[in-house]
């Protein structure tokens, strides 16, 4: 049969392509970077921030504030950790996942602090007053106009450097043109030259120094350890956050715990699937073996899709995959049971095969659509409160069931047609049914 041969070539090509995509597991084929594992497997920190939108600037809409927050937190996270995930959900929540990050407290400090930088002077013209830990009062420095405060919003960039005199780490910052003009006025001989100025971050003094010369475009912040300098530079570079954030949910998972769970589930899944295969072969004979082989192709295709999309693999999504194998088996069982029935009713092998597939189809279709509905709702549910595990489960189950429909009606069908229908294999256990009844 020409049609079957064509399908066979297609299926084998698809399997080959899928294998090529999957192996090796960390390959970057088709521009993708290996399997994506969730935090519960590779370990790391997951934070959920709530933005206090009541404190926003009235000229901005909630969406604008959230977009700006998302952008700034993304910039911080991307410098601080590798492959972070930053998502907005609900109206005022930001979900941050930092793979491999163990120091949750440090991460919270870097990502979520507002990071408003202010230059302060001792006898001020300005009206904003800051108090340092020693109780001393400072005025937020203003330009010669008496109103424009010099703050972090005039920063162009910040980086970690070394103080040439003390050889200690410092944060070197650079003002933009406007900031440079203000800074020049503030450090001018008629203002603070020879006097102390301080740098405040989020209302706390982090550095104090005497102005030695009038400076304009750059400045340094000293007195911190190297990691503190790095963290401050990250915060300053992203700009200050528009509104304060609070942590409403946090999770930290150790990488060894995750790897351990992954291994356990994989072993469990393999044993479970092994039993299914053995059972199918034992119960259905050669067609069972064909179905088992179709399941193998099915698994390879599904894994290739996981890798290409990519689907984030978490513990529940492994469970979703395993359950979808169960659903794929169900489609095969439906077809084989139907095949037995059709043979019992006295049909020829050829017509029984085509009837079995034709009649089993509505059941496979209708029952799987109900699973799709559940998957869609689960996906929404997972999204609505940032439960990446629930979303992952829904996605893997959906892909699994979709491919299983394709697998049952095309892959199993083609193999059965070729091997049994064309008489390559005789004396099958399913044949026995016909004789015995």
Partner 1 sequence: MFDFVGKRFWFLLFSTIIVIPCIISLAVAGLKPGIEFRSGTTMTLAFSTEVNETQLRTALADMGYSNTVIQHTSDNDFIVRMEQINNEQNSLLISALDGSLDTVTDQKEFATVSQTVAAETVRNAIIAVISASVGIMLYITFAFRRMPKPFRWGICAIIALVHNVLVVTGIFSILGWAAGVEIDALFITGMLTVVGYSVHDTIVVFDRIRENMLRSSGKFENVVNASILQTLTRSIITPITLIFVLLALFILGGATIRYFTLVLIIGCITGTYSSIFNASQILVIWENKEWSRLIPFRKRVDSQV
Q: Is 215 helix (H, G, I), strand (E, B) or coil?
A: coil
Q: Where are the beta strands (DSSP E) in 202-329?
A: 204-210, 218-221, 245-253, 312-313
Residue from the set 64, 105, 204, 432 that interacts with partner 1 by CB under 8 A: 105
Q: Which of 192, 219, 193, 195 is nearest to 206 (CA)?
A: 219
At its nearest, how many Å lie between partner 1 and the CB of residue 131?
23
Shortest reach from residue 382's CB to partner 1, in Å: 8
Q: String of b and e for 203-215 (b: at least 16 CB within 10 Å)?
A: eebbbbeebeebb
**Closest separation between CB of residue 244 and partner 1, Å?**
15
Backbone torsions φ then ψ of 207, nearest 5 degrees = -160, 150
52, 64, 163, 254: which one binds partner 1 (CB under 8 A)? 254
| Binding of residue 257 to partner 1 (CB under 8 A) | yes
Minimum CB–partner distance for residue 362 and partner 1 (Å) = 6
Residue 172, beta-bridge partner list = 159, 220
Identify which range of 30-38, 166-174, 226-234, 271-279 contacts partner 1 by CB under 8 A.
Answer: 271-279
Looking at beta carbons only, is 10 or 268 nearer to partner 1? 268
Nearest approach, Cβ of 377 to partner 1 (angstroms)? 5
Which residues make Cβ contacts (< 8 Å) with residue 309, sequence separation at least 6?
Answer: 399
Which CB, 171 or 311, lies closer to partner 1? Answer: 311
CB 43, min distance to partner 1, A: 9
Does 49 contact partner 1 by CB under 8 A? Answer: no
Number of other CB atoms surrounding residue 147 within 10 Å: 9
Secondary structure element (H or E) that encloses residue 138, with its range: strand 137-140
- Locate the DSSP E strands across 164-276: 169-175, 196-201, 204-210, 218-221, 245-253
Q: Which of residues 371, 396, 404, 414 is near partner 1 by CB under 8 A? A: 371
Query: Exactly one of 61, 63, 157, 381 binds partner 1 (CB under 8 A); which one?
Result: 381
How far, in Å, CA of 201 to CA of 391, rounded? 38
- Near partner 1 by CB under 8 A: residue from 52, 136, 283, 437: 283
What is the rounded distance in angstroms from the CA atom of residue 251 to the CA atom of residue 40? 9
Q: Which is nearer to partner 1, 43 or 152 (CB)?
A: 43
The dihedrals phi and psi of 162, each to the nearest 5 degrees, come to -115, 135
Give the contact letters, 316-355, x = binds to partner 1 (CB under 8 A), - = no: x--x--xx-xxx-xx--xx--x---x--------------
Stretch binding partner 1 (CB under 8 A), from 65-73, 224-232, 391-399, 403-411: 391-399
* Pick from 10, 85, 137: nearest CA to 310: 85
- Residue 237 or residue 371: which is nearer to partner 1 going by CB? 371
Residue 408 within binding range of partner 1, rule CB under 8 A: no
Give the residue with the Cβ less far from partner 1, 40 or 118.
40
Contact range with partner 1 by CB under 8 A, out of 112-120, 146-154, 378-386, 425-433: 378-386
Asked if 252 interacts with partner 1 (CB under 8 A), we say yes
Of these, 12, 30, 129, 271, which contacts partner 1 (CB under 8 A)? 271
**Residue 94 binding partner 1, by CB under 8 A:** no
* 384 lines the binding site for partner 1 (CB under 8 A): yes
Q: Does residue 373 touch partner 1 according to CB under 8 A? A: yes
Residue closer to partner 1 (CB basis): 211 or 334? 334
- DSSP SS3 for 365: helix
Q: Sign (positive/negative) of CA torsion 147, 153, 156, 160?
A: positive
Burial of 128: CB neighbours in 10 Å, binned 0-12, 13-18, 19+ = middle
| 377 contributes a contact to partner 1 by CB under 8 A | yes
Among 366, 423, 424, 427, which residue interacts with partner 1 (rule: CB under 8 A)? 366
Among 261, 308, 429, 431, binds partner 1 (CB under 8 A): 261
> Per residue in 165-201, is it b (16+ CB within 10 Å) or e — as a string?
eeeebbbbbebeeebbbbbbbbbeeebbeeeebbbbb
Q: With binding defined as CB under 8 A, does residue 180 bind partner 1?
A: no
Whole-angstrom distance, CA of residue 369 vs CA of residue 334: 16
The beta strand positions in 4-43, using DSSP E, are 36-37
- Indicate which single residue of 12, 226, 275, 309 sits in contact with partner 1 (rule: CB under 8 A): 275
One of 1, 6, 12, 369 touching partner 1 (CB under 8 A): 369
DSSP strand pairing (36-37 vs 312-313): parallel
Which of the residues 151 through 170 are near partner 1 (CB under 8 A)? none
Q: How far is the CB of 279 from partner 1 (least distance, A)?
A: 6
398 vs 324: CA distance, rounded Å = 8
């Amino acid at each position: 049969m020409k049609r079957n041969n064509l399908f066979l070539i297609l299926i084998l090509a698809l399997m080959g392509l899928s294998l090529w995509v999957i192996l090796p597991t960390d390959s970057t084929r088709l521009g993708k970077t290996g399997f994506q594992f969730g935090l519960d497997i590779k370990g790391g920190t997951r934070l959920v921030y709530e933005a206090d939108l009541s404190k926003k600037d009235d000229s901005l809409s909630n969406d604008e504030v959230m977009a700006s927050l998302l952008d700034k937190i993304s910039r911080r996270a991307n410098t601080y950790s590798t492959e972070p995930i930053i998502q907005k959900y609900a109206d005022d929540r930001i979900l941050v996942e930092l793979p491999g990050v163990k120091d949750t407290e440090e991460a919270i400090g870097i990502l979520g602090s507002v990071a408003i930088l202010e230059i302060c002077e001792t006898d001020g013209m300005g009206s904003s007053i800051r108090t340092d830990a020693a109780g001393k009062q400072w005025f937020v420095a203003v330009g010669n106009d008496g109103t424009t405060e010099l703050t972090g919003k005039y920063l162009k960039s910040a980086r970690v450097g070394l103080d040439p005199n003390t050889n200690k780490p410092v944060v070197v910052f650079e003002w933009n043109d406007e900031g440079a003009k203000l800074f020049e006025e503030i450090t001018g001989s008629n203002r603070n030259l020879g006097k102390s100025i301080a740098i405040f971050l989020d209302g706390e003094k982090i550095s104090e120094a005497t102005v030695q010369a009038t400076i304009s475009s750059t400045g340094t912040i000293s007195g911190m350890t190297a990691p503190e300098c790095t963290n401050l530079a990250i915060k300053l570079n992203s700009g200050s956050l528009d509104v304060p954030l609070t942590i409403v949910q946090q999770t930290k998972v150790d990488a060894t715990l995750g790897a351990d769970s992954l291994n356990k589930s994989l072993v469990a899944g393999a044993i479970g699937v092994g039993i299914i295969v053995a059972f199918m072969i034992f119960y259905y004979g050669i067609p069972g073996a064909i179905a088992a082989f179709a399941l193998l192709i099915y698994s390879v295709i599904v894994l290739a899709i996981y890798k290409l999309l990519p689907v984030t693999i978490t513990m529940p999504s492994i469970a979703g995959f395993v359950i979808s194998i169960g659903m794929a088996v169900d489609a095969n069982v439906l077809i084989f049971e139907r095949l037995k029935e059709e043979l019992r009713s006295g049909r020829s092998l050829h017509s029984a095969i085509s009837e079995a597939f034709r009649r089993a189809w509505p059941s496979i279709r209708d029952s799987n659509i109900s699973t799709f509905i559940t998957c869609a709702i689960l996906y929404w549910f997972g999204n609505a409160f940032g439960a990446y595990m629930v979303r992952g489960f829904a996605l893997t189950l959906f892909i699994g069931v979709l491919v299983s429909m394709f697998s049952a009606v095309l892959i199993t069908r083609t193999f059965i047609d070729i091997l049994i229908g064309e008489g390559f294999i005789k004396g099958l256990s399913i044949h026995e049914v016909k004789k015995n009844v």
